[in-house]
A and B are shown apart, each in its own frame.
Chain A
Amino acid sequence: MELLSSPLFAITLSLAAFQLGNLLYRRLNEFPLLHPTVTGASLVALLLPWLDIDYQVYLQGNQLLMFWLGPATVALAVPLYQQLHLIRKMALPILLTCAFGAAFAAGSAVAIAYWLGGSETTMLSLAPKSVTTPIAIELANEIGGLATLAAGCVALTAATAMCLAPIVFRVLNIEDPQIWGFCLGITAHGMGTARAFEMNPTAGAFSSLAMCLTGAFSAALIPLVVKLLS
């Protein structure tokens, strides 16, 4: 069947799954663990083997959709500029939290994997887990991890943190959209930023900023630490 392996079908499937996920999400009062990116992806993963479509074919077919991640990332400059007055006020907490947060995210993941007997490759692929995908892949290559595994760890981290964050912040009583968005951006990078914009533009801007700073800090810090340890 020609249609099933076409980009047309692949993108239609993505949109349909996402909107079904959205419907479910709204029905259940936006229950955090069932964010449409996660439920939609699970639905596609169930359907692909059933329709006998190879995941790589589906991913290739979605290139056109994923192309817009680039311009959408550039567009994040707009909310960032609009929230500049708030960001200026919080400059020091932002920089400090980002530096410590980036180190903590990488360190805690590697420590837990080490403790559970993960291989060296696993640990090196886990180190960039809280860094946005393109930077994480370059980092993994640089320090000797596996790019595919690193990309997987990044996506898994993003999905996990995006779903857990609203619950954790409710428990910690964090309601300030600045802090809410910022902490989401450090831990869950791109998907977290998407989620923060669903809350409000302030949370989104702070999340974008956290994502970029964490990426920059990690790109500088992780190779250095790996060199020192090996």
Chain B
Amino acid sequence: MSLINGVLILLLCQCAGEAIKSYFGLSLPGPVLGMFILFIGLLIYQDVPEAVAKSSRSLIPMLGLMFLPAATGLFFLGSQYSDQWPAIIAAVLIGSLLSLIFNGLLMTFLARKRRGKS
């Protein structure tokens, strides 16, 4: 019963997000706006209702599975960009590696500075 309530709240937030997106013509996705709406709701309510907590505990661990069909698409992008693949794969591989190192070092540095102050 409470799981259905929780999922209903999530869906209502997503509907509200989609409505706001189309009304204002925003480029943010509906679910992301829905997340903000739920977040504001939780701030006002000052607690997480059991139903919402339950639905979130059920859905979030399944994220990895939900991305699988789209990830499979990587193998079927095919020949139309075949001359571009070396540039794309290098940019993604090297770029991601550099990004991870850059972000990690920057965040560690800033966090240390911040903690040093307090």
Residues of A whose CB lies within 8 Å of any CB of B are 10, 14-15, 17-18, 35-38, 40-42, 44-45, 48, 55, 58-59, 62, 65-66, 68-82, 89-90, 92-93, 96-97, 100-101, 104-105, 108-110, 112-113, 116-119, 122, 126, 129-130, 132-135, 138-139, 142, 148-149, 151-153, 155-161, 164-165, 168-169, 172, 174, 176, 178-179, 182-183, 186-188, 190-191, 193-195, 197-198, 204, 208, 212, 215-216, 219
Contacts and interface: CB of A to CB of B under 8 A. Distances in A.
Interface in B25-76: 27-32, 34-39, 41-43, 48, 52-53, 55-56, 59-76
A190 B92 contact: no
Given A164-B97, A187-B96, A97 B31 contact: no
- Nearest 3 A/B pairs, CB to CB: A118-B87, A93-B110, A45-B75
A155 B111 contact: no
Interface of B: 7, 10-11, 13-14, 17, 27-32, 34-39, 41-43, 48, 52-53, 55-56, 59-77, 81, 84, 86-108, 110-111, 113-114, 118
A97 B107 contact: yes
B7 to A, nearest CB: 6
A44 B68 contact: yes
A108 B111 contact: no
Contact of A153 (B32, B34, B92): B92
A108 B98 contact: yes
A183 B32 CA distance: 19
Nearest to B8: A71
Contact of B86 (A97, A116, A126, A216): A116
A157 B92 contact: yes
Contact of B28 (A44, A96, A135, A198): A135
A133 B67 CA distance: 11
A183 B104 contact: yes
Contacts of A110: 91
Contacts of A89: 114, 118
A122 B28 contact: no
Contacts of B63: 69, 72, 190-191, 193-194, 197
A55 B86 CA distance: 23
Contacts of B95: 105, 108-109, 112, 126, 129, 157
Contacts of A78: 38, 42, 48, 52-53, 56
